[in-house]
Structure 1
Amino acid sequence: MTSLEVTLTGADVLRPDGIEARGSVTLTQGILSDSPADRQVDLSGYLVLPGIIDLHGDGFERHLAPRRGAMNEMDEGVLAAEAELAANGISTAVLAQFHSWEGGLRAPEYAERVFAAMTAVQDKTVTDLMPQLRFETHMLDDYAGLPDKIRKFALPYIVFNDHLPHSKLAAGKKPPRLVGQALKAARNPEVHLAMMQEMHRRRDEVPAALDALCGELAKMGVKMGSHDDQTSAGRAVWRARGAAISEFPETLEAAQAARDGGDHIILGAPNVVRGGSHNGNVSAKELIEQGLCDALASDYHYPSPRRAALMLVRQSVLDLKSAWALVSSGSAQVLGLRDRGEICTGLRADLVILNAKDNQVAATISGGRVSYLAGDIANRFLG
């Protein structure tokens, strides 16, 4: 697909230092330029913002597997997910895929299928799709093969999780939802429980194994993060391993420790939209008010980054420049993406265009190519 060669005029443009009223933005060869193009499109009545960079989302699961066993064309599922991303103003998206003992859509073999599908359609997508591996830390038998899997699929980003119900297992009790979880994993419930118990039994082996694994991944240049940090001590351990990203810290203590240690903090945009965590964890809005957030991610709901940023503005928590940075330039800095995140000459032409009346997404542009276009703005581009 050919990139746009055009100057967008008449819209309010969010620059690094604030809104430029009735400004102009030129796109040429996939980047932002300061030389006007021959073709101009009047975008009066619209707001031009940096494209949203979503650092963690698993909403794509509904497209890849809408019903168990109902769709095997995973390539088509990735393309369908991209369409939803684009419709929500996301120009760069990190697709977060589990490698977990939980099985089903989180099984290691399913993860390989997802990453293979992303590779297969990369020449067909406009949105910049990036894979993230979410690795369950107590899968000790999988440590040895993990670096090769990361190399095979060129995975740039790994986050470590631990979803084992340790307190229940330590007490000799059956975890809640055991039968349903086992069936999703196509396992006998007793076999599933025995597997969980064995991983719990070997828990003291995990720290040393993680130290060695993270050391190898750091040499490979892989970005690393921890998920659901709860304590300052826990965050310090991850930092020492080179995991400098704290994804969705569950407490004020953990978030403050991340900030004090110079780590990046990613919070869930749905937490902001909902007005709090659905799990009873610390409020994202509260952390943002205290300066304990670098980026907002979609988590399970792709409309939320845009909605959360605009909600923070309406509630006078942040101004538009600071709020939108949480879904654009801040996100770019977390992953070291120096070529995007702001509307500046020489950067990638990644833009989201909102209707100024209702702040709905009218168009999304990624790398100078249109990924989404709808309504009156389509007439302006095509007319």
Structure 2
Amino acid sequence: MLELSLCGAELLLRDGLMRADLGISGGRLTGTGMGRRIDLSGFRVLPGIVDLHGDGFERHLAPRRGAMKDLSAGLASAEAELAANGITTAYLAQFWSWEGGMRGRDFALRFLRALRDYRGTGTDLRAQLRFELFMLDDYGDFEATVAEYGVAYVVFNDHLPHDALNRGKRPPRLTGQALKGGRSPEAHLAMMKELHRHMTGVAPAVAGLAQRLGERGVALGSHDDDTADLRRGWHKRGVTIAEFPETQAAAAEACGLGDAVVLGAPNVVRGGSHSGNASAADLVRDGLCDALASDYHYPAPRQAALILSQEVGLEKAWALVSEGPARVLGLTDRGVLEADKRADLVVLDGEGRIGATIAGGRVTYLSGAVAERFLG
């Protein structure tokens, strides 16, 4: 691992930017410089990005349906993209869903095996499993899988088109979804109708599963809450992370209950939700956000933090992609530039571009003028 002293840069500390030296030794940060000195005058050093929810890895694992047989090669490609975007800890959001294909149970198991065996360049890659509530026959297998692979973060989803099914209408995007899952549209629709029919059995099953997972220390989140009542219901089950709440009311309820709110960084970059939901930037301004996540676009956390920094300051904005997400999942060893923390950091130039990413004391990305400084 590196033994370095980063000198002359502005460090982003809890109280703002400060010019000071920063050491790296044994994969940890040190308060004083050690080893070879790297002059980073004119650059800024910030905590590495902690990404709580991202599915951008999917296109690396399967650029075309069925095209990628060796998932380890896809994980290496995904890690390269993560590093190039300053992400040092990444929760890869993998579905366990009735939708099938890359979102199905079998692919989830392949993914977990590949991730367990993967040896990367330093980025801390972790699994988040997104479980579809209405898969009542899968509850036992899912719970056993969480235990077997040590999955520490589970998010509950419900992507069934209940409104259309209640009205007897053909759900939108049925044909495309069916083909991705390897089914005919008729078979796919029949399966959705059968799952939808078991509405009354879902609530007690979810409550039991959430209680058992929570007792084992698994962090639990809900997805796309659209009402305060829905968020309150999840809170009562011990599900204390609200991912991407769709309304201001749901986000406010989460905060009022002491739950964590995770918003999509692409929403900030776009200037609003692409589906008409609440504006993430507005929720940040209202103090209703603990963390920003990449969602589907790995460049977005850095971009969103820099956009928000114009309004709320760099230390507060960057905390939403570093210290904030680390706190949400209890990662006390990262998210800030302090002695004895994990050596996770990014080096930015004056235009906010990433020149270097260091994860766990290993260089995972190096480019441009910063690379020239490191290479002498």
Q: TM-score range by the shorter chain?
A: over 0.9
Q: Which residue is equivalent to 2:252?
A: 256
Query: Pairwise mapping of residues 111-126 of structure 1 onto structure 2 (< 5 A)?
Result: 111-121=108-118, 123-126=119-122
The answer to whether residue 355 in structure 2 is matched with residue 362 in structure 1 is yes
* Partner of residue 44 from structure 1, selected from 41, 46, 55: 41
Opposite residue 110 of structure 1, the aligned amino acid is F
What secondary structure sits across from 2:21 in the alignment?
A: strand
| Contact 2:79/2:120 (8 A) holds in 1 | no
**In the aligned structure 2, how far is the partner of 1:177 from the partner of 1:248?**
22
| Contact 2:94/2:129 (8 A) holds in 1 | yes
Deviating more after overlay: 33-42 vs 276-285: 33-42
Instruction: Could you tell me which runs of 5 or more consecutive residues in structure 2 were left unpaired when the two chains were aligned.
Output: none
Residue 181 of structure 1: CA displacement? 1.2
% identity of equivalent residues: 56
Query: Pairwise mapping of residues 1-383 of structure 1 onto structure 2 (< 5 A)?
Result: 3-21=1-19, 23-121=20-118, 123-314=119-310, 316=311, 318-356=312-350, 358-383=351-376
**RMSD, aligned CA:** 0.9
Residue 38 of structure 1: CA displacement? 3.5
What secondary structure sits across from 1:132 in the alignment?
A: strand
| Contact 2:225/2:250 (8 A) holds in 1 | yes
Give the structure-1-normalised TM-score: 0.97
Opposite residue 266 of structure 2, the aligned amino acid is P
How many pairs are equivalent? Answer: 376
| Contact 2:267/2:280 (8 A) holds in 1 | yes
**In the aligned structure 2, how far is the partner of 1:323 from the partner of 1:302?**
17
Opposite residue 10 of structure 2, the aligned amino acid is D
What secondary structure sits across from 2:140 in the alignment?
A: coil
Residue 35 of structure 1: CA displacement? 3.0
Opposite residue 368 of structure 1, the aligned amino acid is G
Residue 37 of structure 1: CA displacement? 1.1
**In the aligned structure 1, how far is the partner of 2:288 from the partner of 2:99?**
31
Residue 34 of structure 1: CA displacement? 1.8
What secondary structure sits across from 1:134 in the alignment?
A: strand
Opposite residue 101 of structure 1, the aligned amino acid is W
**In the aligned structure 1, how far is the partner of 2:67 from the partner of 2:179?**
17
Runs of 4+ in 1 over 2 A off after TM superposition: none
What secondary structure sits across from 1:154 in the alignment?
A: coil
**In the aligned structure 2, how far is the partner of 1:338 from the partner of 1:247?**
21
**In the aligned structure 2, how far is the partner of 1:36 from the partner of 1:296?**
31
What secondary structure sits across from 1:143 in the alignment?
A: helix
**In the aligned structure 2, how far is the partner of 1:99 from the partner of 1:38?**
46
**In the aligned structure 1, how far is the partner of 2:314 from the partner of 2:33?**
27
Q: What whole-Å deviation, never above 9, does each CA across 1:49-88 have from its counterpart, x for those lacking one?
A: 0000000000000100001122211110001000000000
Opposite residue 7 of structure 1, the aligned amino acid is S
**In the aligned structure 2, how far is the partner of 1:85 from the partner of 1:288?**
24
**In the aligned structure 1, how far is the partner of 2:336 from the partner of 2:173?**
45
What secondary structure sits across from 2:88 in the alignment?
A: strand
Residue 20 of structure 1: CA displacement? 0.2
Instruction: Could you tell me which runs of 5 or more consecutive residues in structure 1 were left unpaired when the two chains were aligned.
Output: none
What secondary structure sits across from 2:102 in the alignment?
A: helix
What secondary structure sits across from 1:191 in the alignment?
A: helix
**In the aligned structure 1, how far is the partner of 2:179 from the partner of 2:29?**
51
**In the aligned structure 1, how far is the partner of 2:288 from the partner of 2:196?**
33
Opposite residue 104 of structure 2, the aligned amino acid is A
**In the aligned structure 2, how far is the partner of 1:66 from the partner of 1:155?**
25
| Contact 2:309/2:318 (8 A) holds in 1 | no
**In the aligned structure 2, how far is the partner of 1:199 from the partner of 1:149?**
22
Deviating more after overlay: 110-119 vs 335-344: 110-119
Opposite residue 165 of structure 2, the aligned amino acid is L
